[in-house]
Structures are given as C-alpha cells and as structure tokens.
C-alpha cells in the first residue's frame, strides 16, 4: 500500500496489527484535535463577549502545553477533577449567560466526575487514570 504514495506528500505508516487500528488512531486524534479547536472558539467568544479577548490570547501565549503528547500529566488532572468539575459547571453558567453553547463545559464536568475517587492522588499511574474513564459505561 505504501508504494502507491511514493513521491507524494502523504507519509504512510503501519498502525497496529489488527484491523481497525488506524481508524481508532484517527478517531482518537480527531476527538482531541477537533474538540480542542472548538473549545478555543468558545473560549474566545466568551472572552470577546466580556471584552477580554486580548488578555485571553496573552494568557494562552505563555502556556507551555503538551497535553496530548504527555499522557504522564493525566493523573494530575484526575487528582484535581474533584474541584475542576464544579468549576466547569460555573463555566457552563457563564457561557449560558453570554448566550454561548454550554454542552462542552457540561460534558467536561461529567467526564471529570469519573475521576472523583482520585482526589488529590497525584502519584497514580497513567494506566489507572485511563482505566477510570472506562470503568462505568452506565454513567
């Protein structure tokens, strides 16, 4: 298959050993990439509604972010989820007041609830943190 794309701008590589691995990678990456850009749009719309767009951009410029490329950071997110979930509900209220979509903030609060039992446990292994997201499908 890779030979079909020789001398093209497309870089072909094998992903996983089972059928569907490449599609799973595509969906995992797209879930982050598209959601992150959508969240940026909502954040900028909220900041613009309150006249603080330039300040939001300045805050973002000083952030060092490797969130997707550094899963070792995720246990610290889980450890703080107990206080971040209520904050995301407040974000939803603020978005609602600005007549902006609240869905992603509300969904974030619901996902953070999966990590409630990891409160202040900053030394948990990444595999535990990830498994917490799969632990109860009925949530």
Residue with tokens 């701008």: 9
Q: In the numeric block, which tokens belong to residue 50?
A: 């309150």
Give the mean pLDDT of 12-25.
87
CA distance 120 to 80: 6
Q: In the numeric block, which tokens belong to residue 94?
A: 């603020």
Total length of the chain: 139
pLDDT tens-digit series, residues 111-139: 999 999 999 999 999 999 999 999 665 45
Q: In the numeric block, which tokens belong to residue 12?
A: 């072909």
First-to-final CA distance of the chain: 41
pLDDT tens-digit series, residues 35-51: 999 999 999 999 999 99
Total-model pTM: 0.79
Per-residue pLDDT at 8 exceeds 50 = yes
- Percentage of the chain surpassing pLDDT 90? 73
Map 5-30 to HEC letters.
HCCCCCCCCCCCCCCCHHHHHHHHHH
Mean pLDDT of the chain: 91
Residues 6+ apart with CB under 8 A from 96: 102
Judged on CB neighbours under 10 Å (0-12, 13-18, 19+), 115 is buried
pLDDT tens-digit series, residues 95-109: 999 999 999 999 999
Q: In the numeric block, which tokens belong to residue 75?
A: 């246990």
């Amino acid at each position: 298959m890779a030979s079909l794309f020789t001398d093209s701008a497309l870089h072909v590589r094998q992903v996983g050993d089972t059928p569907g691995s490449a599609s799973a990678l595509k969906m995992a990456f797209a879930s982050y990439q598209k959601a992150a850009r959508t969240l940026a749009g909502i954040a900028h719309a909220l900041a613009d509604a309150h006249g603080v767009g330039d300040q939001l951009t300045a805050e973002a410029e000083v952030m060092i972010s490797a969130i997707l490329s550094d899963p070792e950071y995720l246990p610290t997110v889980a450890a703080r989820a107990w206080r971040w979930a209520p904050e995301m509900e407040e974000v939803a209220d603020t978005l609602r007041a600005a007549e902006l979509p609240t869905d992603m903030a509300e969904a974030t609060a619901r996902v953070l609830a999966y990590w409630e039992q990891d409160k202040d446990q900053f030394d948990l292994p990444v595999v535990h943190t990830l498994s917490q997201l799969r632990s109860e499908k009925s949530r």
